[in-house]
Amino acid sequence: MSEPIETYRGVVYPWHCDHMGHMNVMWYTGKFDEATWSLFSHAGITATYLRDGERGMAAVQQNITYKREVGAGTVLFIRSAILEVRDRVMRFTHEMVDSETHEVVATSELTAVHFDRKARKACPLPAEMVERVRGLLGNAPT
Specify the pTM.
0.91
In a domain, 59, yes or no: yes
Q: How many domains does the chain have?
A: 1
Mean pLDDT of the chain: 94
Longest dimension (CA), the chain: 48
Q: DSSP alpha helices (H): ranges in 4-77?
A: 25-42, 47-52
Are 50 and 129 spatial neighbours (Cβ–Cβ below 8 Å)?
no
pLDDT confidence band for 141 (50 / 70 / 90):
very low
Q: In this predicted model, what pLDDT tens digit does every residue of 110-128 receive, in sequence order?
A: 999 999 999 999 999 999 9
Q: 74 to each of 19, 93, 96, 97, 98, how far by Cα in Å?
A: 17, 22, 12, 10, 7
CATH code for position 117: 3.10.129.10
In a domain, 51, yes or no: yes
Domain that holds residue 17: 5-130
